[in-house]
């Protein structure tokens, strides 16, 4: 059932200066580059000096990757979505999702927090109070984070890609593949086009209408990643790292050097960064234009998390649960961070550290005890 709260509409716009320093959604921006180009405090010369700023109040189940809005860090866990105080990690509020099932990483839009769940429900919350503005059943199961740009939020529900008005919850369009190919990845948006993945296919859809522009079928995939876009190229991980032309979907290059289960690519300053599992595991860097190998580190072992890049530093959640940092240009190891109680940081598909305003936020993924978000900054 849909409800509207008019007072929230007064918070439509966030200031440009503030928006530039927030980590609004999975992958940092709607294109999912996972590259925070506004970070100026942390750099390769000082990240080894990061120390614990706070550990948050705990929650029972594993948490999603965090999202940073004004004065709050948002996180979802165990059918709930909540807000933590940015400077202390103390809980501001927590709410059940609409269905109370398997919430995914929330996205912070124009004055609203958007969160989906495994029951197929998408909801908008007042980020200051947690009051639900609207909730709508989008059917299926939302298993990946929503993407938000302008006044629209985009989701996949297992079978469809859907565009929804951020302020009212009204559907703007629905796209279903003609052969009912599954759609499961977080949508990515760039230059008026929405890109989605699922099964073994990549789709490009008109942002305004949802009409299909092109479809490219990759080789059969066991684990296709969400797409990311930069400079006219769509990058997708899976059995290899694929680069497709954003305009028509033709393959620009394919690199099979890395192992399988290649993570959602991060793109920064002409480089693409991915994690991969056996047979060629580790953290990899390739040239974004031609796919040429640049460097590899085996130190993270076989992580599945999406890497983050900011101001010349690559942040990667290693397979053993540590947060490792590398120089983006050469792959030099710069140091690592650990939870003060030895809890592993969550390193499964879709997990990700976030970096903004000189602070690193990362969620733990402990199966045997309560979890939390840790924040690190310079002393």
Kindly state the average pLDDT of the residues 181-189.
96
Q: Sign of the CA dihedral 256, 257, 258, 260?
A: positive
Looking at residue 209, its pLDDT comes to 98
Handedness of CA 32, 37, 40, 43 (dihedral sign): positive
Q: How far is Cα 373 from Cα 19, in angstroms, rounded to an integer?
A: 22
Tens digits of per-residue pLDDT, 205-225?
999 999 999 999 999 999 999
Distance from first CA to last CA of the chain, Å, rounded? 48
CA distances in angstroms from 308 to 39, 89, 103, 129, listed in the order given: 12, 21, 22, 29
* pLDDT over threshold 70, residue 14: no
The answer as to whether 203 is a domain residue is: yes
CA 52 – CA 379 distance, rounded (Å): 9
Query: Which range of residues forms the domain containing residue 89?
Result: 6-377
In this structure, what are the phi and psi dihedrals at residue 151, rounded to the nearest 5 degrees?
Answer: -105, 20
Domain assignment present for 174: yes
* 330 found inside a domain: yes
How far does Cα 61 stand from its chain's mean position? 19
144-151: average pLDDT: 96
The pLDDT value recorded for residue 27 is 98
Strands 233-237 and 228-230, sheet pairing: antiparallel
pLDDT tens profile 53-99 = 999 998 888 889 999 998 899 999 989 999 999 999 999 999 998 88
| Whole-angstrom distance, CA of residue 153 vs CA of residue 162 | 8
* Residue 374: closest CA among 307, 323, 303, 324: 323
| Residue 17 pLDDT greater than 80, yes or no | no
Q: Is residue 12 part of a domain?
A: yes
Predicted confidence band of residue 101 (pLDDT cuts 50, 70, 90): confident
- Predicted confidence band of residue 16 (pLDDT cuts 50, 70, 90): very low
Q: Are strands 161-165 and 152-156 parallel, antiparallel or unpaired?
A: antiparallel
* In-domain check, residue 1: no
> Does the residue 69 lie in any domain?
yes
* 61 inside domain: yes
User: pTM for this structure?
Assistant: 0.94
- Nearest CA-CA partner of 265 in 252, 48, 115: 252
Tell me what pLDDT residue 3 has.
41
Distance between CA atoms of residues 379 and 376, nearest Å: 9
What percentage of the chain has pLDDT greater than the value 90?
88
Give residue 213's pLDDT: 98
Contact (CB, 8 A) for 76 and 97: yes
Tell me the pLDDT tens digit for each residue of 308-362.
999 999 999 999 999 999 999 999 999 999 999 999 999 999 999 999 999 999 9
**Pairing mode, strands 323-327 and 333-337:** antiparallel
pLDDT of residue 2: 40
C-alpha 104/C-alpha 79 separation (Å) is 9
Backbone angles phi, psi at 49, to 5 degrees: -95, 5
Q: Where residue 190 sits, what CATH number does that domain have?
A: 2.130.10.10
Contact 136, 2 (CB under 8 A): yes
Token readout for 367 is: 């199966």
DSSP β-ladder status, 91-96 and 80-85 = antiparallel
Q: What is the pLDDT of residue 226?
A: 98
Is the pLDDT reported for residue 231 higher than 50? yes
Whether the CB-CB separation of 322 and 336 falls below 8 Å is answered with: yes
Any idea how long the chain is? 379
330: tokens are: 């050469």
What total of structural domains would you count in the chain? 1
């Amino acid at each position: 059932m849909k409800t509207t709260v008019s007072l929230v509409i007064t918070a439509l716009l966030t200031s440009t200066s503030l928006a530039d320093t927030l980590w609004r959604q999975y992958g940092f921006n709607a294109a999912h580059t996972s590259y925070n180009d506004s970070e100026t405090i942390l750099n390769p010369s000082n990240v080894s000096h990061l120390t614990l700023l706070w550990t948050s109040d705990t929650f029972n189940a594993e948490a999603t990757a965090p999202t940073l809005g004004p004065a709050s860090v948002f996180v979802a866990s165990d059918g709930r979505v909540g807000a933590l105080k940015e400077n202390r990690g103390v809980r501001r509020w927590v709410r059940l999702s609409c269905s109370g099932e398997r919430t995914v990483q929330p996205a912070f839009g124009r004055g609203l927090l958007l969160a989906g769940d495994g029951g197929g429900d998408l909801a908008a919350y007042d980020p200051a109070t947690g009051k639900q503005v609207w909730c709508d059943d989008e059917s299926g199961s939302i298993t990946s984070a929503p993407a938000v740009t302008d006044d629209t939020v985009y989701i996949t529900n297992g079978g469809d890609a859907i565009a929804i008005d951020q302020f009212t919850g009204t559907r703007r369009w629905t796209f279903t593949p003609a052969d009912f190919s599954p759609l499961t990845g977080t949508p990515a948006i760039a230059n008026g086009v929405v890109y989605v993945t699922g099964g073994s296919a990549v789709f490009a859809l008109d942002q305004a209408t949802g009409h299909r522009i092109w479809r490219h079928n990759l080789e059969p995939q066991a684990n296709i990643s969400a797409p990311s876009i930069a400079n006219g190229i769509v990058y997708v991980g899976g059995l290899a790292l694929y680069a497709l032309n954003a305009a028509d979907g033709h393959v620009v290059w394919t690199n099979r050097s890395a192992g399988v289960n290649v993570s959602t690519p991060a793109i920064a300053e002409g480089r693409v960064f991915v994690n991969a599992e056996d047979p060629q595991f580790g953290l990899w860097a390739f040239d974004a234009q031609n796919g040429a190998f640049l460097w590899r580190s085996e130190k993270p072992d076989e992580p599945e998390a999406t890497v983050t890049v900011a101001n010349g530093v690559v942040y990667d959640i290693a397979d053993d649960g540590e947060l490792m940092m590398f120089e983006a240009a050469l792959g030099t190891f710069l140091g690592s961070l650990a939870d003060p109680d030895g809890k592993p940081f969550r390193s499964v598909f879709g997990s990700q550290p976030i970096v903004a305003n000189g602070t690193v936020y990362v969620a733990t993924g402990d199966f045997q005890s309560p979890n939390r978000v840790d924040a690190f900054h310079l002393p």
